[in-house]
Amino acid sequence: MYLDNAATTQKPRAVIDRVHRFYADENANVHRGVHRLSERATDAYEQARVTAGRFLNARDAHEIVFVRGATEAINLVASSYGRTQVGRGDEVIVSAMEHHSNIVPWQMLCEQQGARLRVMPISDAGELDLDGYAALLNERTRMVSIVHVSNALGTVNPIEAVVRLAHRVGAAVLVDERAGRRASPHRRAGARLRFLCASAHKMFGPTGIGVLYGRTERLAGMPPSPRRRRHDRVGHLRAHPLQGAAAPVRGRDAAHRWCDRSRRGDRLRRGDWLGVDRHTRARPAGARDKRASRVPGLRIVGTAPEKAGIVSFVMDGVHPHDIGTILDREGVAIRTGHHCCQPLMDRLGVPATARVSLALYNTRDDIDALAAALQTVRGVFG
């Protein structure tokens, strides 16, 4: 029973077959050769950019830059855009629930530029404190970087409100959508964002490929990143493909198309990506309200009213790693630890949690198996 989808999702046959077909029948370098196979490979690569742009509601496919993952996208924005826009005395804001990869690049940027890193507060329930966030914003705020869906808690942040408040003081916003299968990523670029990053492997696609969305005027003005010095402008990454990523790009394209078909199908019932969110949210609610309450000493960590298909919990007298080990022996795969969110764990007063994260292929049988396995854990530790 695979309940670790916030770490990575399983891949549909359409994605696996597309990657296989590339290596079996279409393998060629892109944007390099004049032979027919290379031209076909280039056309497919650029069509994948169009698909990604349409999926994110970008104004133009050229606002899509392929990167190795969301982490590289954040580093690229921080090291390129950040170096030109953030100076001494300026401020960058992140939230208290960020993944380390959306903290460290901004820490490094602020140290290098003499700027200040500020943190949006959250409540004990793991909900963003919008009033506290608004109080942090001022004329020195240059950048706000925030996750849409917390990978540790499942909290869905009010991105539209975050963007609106940031733009009042002229700050740019980067949204981390790596949990985007639950967070309606096709709407985010339409929210007047400056930047958005997403990874494919958490959205039923292959590993090793991600997307950076950036407004055309922002990408065009970004100087070379230290890791991308061979390109005179980051915006030109559109024309210089990510070498070695031809197969993953095809896989990501297949994942986008598969998601489009799935959200139009009977299973999701609605013609929008939020259908996946509703499909998965119903299950953790049931697990929390009907099953978890029956396990003595189990406490949910993060109880914000707006949550995606992620539930973190602790159990009295049992370390999360022991929970994960016993559940694994019972055939249930979950995640345990600090989930690369140690500042968040410190804020909530827990060293680690056990985390269940669902995708649209999970069933009621998975929840039944989880509930039974948790009872086994309780029985082992008394």
pLDDT tens-digit series, residues 302-350: 999 998 889 999 999 999 999 999 999 999 999 999 999 999 999 999 9
- Segment 146-174 mean pLDDT: 95
pLDDT of residue 166: 97
User: Has this prediction a pTM greater than 0.85?
Assistant: yes
pLDDT of residue 276: 44
3-state secondary structure 224-243: CCHHHCCCCCHHHHHCCCCC
Cα dihedral across residues 64, 68, 69, 73: positive or negative: negative
Q: How confident is the model at residue 54 (pLDDT cuts 50, 70, 90)?
A: confident
For residue 300, the one-letter residue type is I
Q: What is the mean pLDDT of the chain?
A: 86
Share of the chain above pLDDT 70, in %: 82
Q: How confident is the model at residue 183 (pLDDT cuts 50, 70, 90)?
A: very low
Contacts of 69 (CB under 8 A, 6+ apart): 199, 201, 208, 209, 210
CATH of domain 13-259: 3.40.640.10
- Segment 194-219 mean pLDDT: 91
pLDDT of residue 181: 45
Q: Domain residues of the chain, as ranges?
A: 13-259, 274-381
pLDDT of residue 216: 86
- Res. 49: pLDDT tops 50: yes
Q: What is the CB-side half-sphere exposure of residue 219 using CA atoms within 13 A?
A: 23
pLDDT of residue 291: 61
pLDDT of residue 232: 40
Examine the residue annotation and report whether 340 is marked as an active-site residue of this protein. yes
- Res. 139: pLDDT tops 60: yes
Q: How confident is the model at residue 94 (pLDDT cuts 50, 70, 90)?
A: very high
- Res. 211: pLDDT tops 70: yes
- Res. 184: pLDDT tops 50: no
pLDDT of residue 279: 47
How would you classify residue 19: left for phi > 0, otherwise alpha for psi between -120 and 50, otherwise beta?
Answer: alpha
What does the alpha-carbon distance between residue 175 and residue 351 come to, in Å, rounded to a whole number? Answer: 26
Catalytic residue among 110, 259, 340, 341: 340
Lowest-pLDDT range, 134-143, 282-291, 341-350, 352-361? 282-291
Q: Identify which has the larger pLDDT, 190 or 144.
A: 144
Q: How confident is the model at residue 140 (pLDDT cuts 50, 70, 90)?
A: very high
Lowest-pLDDT range, 64-68, 192-196, 271-275? 271-275
pLDDT tens-digit series, residues 255-299: 988 887 765 554 443 333 333 444 445 555 445 445 655 799 999
What does the alpha-carbon distance between residue 196 and residue 172 come to, in Å, rounded to a whole number? Answer: 11
pLDDT of residue 149: 93
What does the alpha-carbon distance between residue 250 and residue 311 come to, in Å, rounded to a whole number? Answer: 32
Q: Which of 217, 247, 202 is nearest to 30 (CA)?
A: 247
Q: Phi first, then psi: what are they for 307, rounded to 5°?
A: -135, 150
**In terms of CATH architecture, what is 274-381?**
Alpha-Beta Complex (3.90)
- Res. 135: pLDDT tops 70: yes
Contacts of 36 (CB under 8 A, 6+ apart): none
pLDDT tens-digit series, residues 223-260: 776 555 444 445 555 545 566 688 999 999 999 888 87
Range 345-372 burial, b when 16+ CB lie within 10 A, else e: bebbebebbbbbbbbbbbeeebbebbbe
- Res. 123: pLDDT tops 50: yes
Q: Identify which has the larger pLDDT, 272 or 165.
A: 165
Q: How confident is the model at residue 31 (pLDDT cuts 50, 70, 90)?
A: confident
Q: Which of 171, 6, 200 is nearest to 81 (CA)?
A: 171
Share of the chain above pLDDT 90, in %: 68
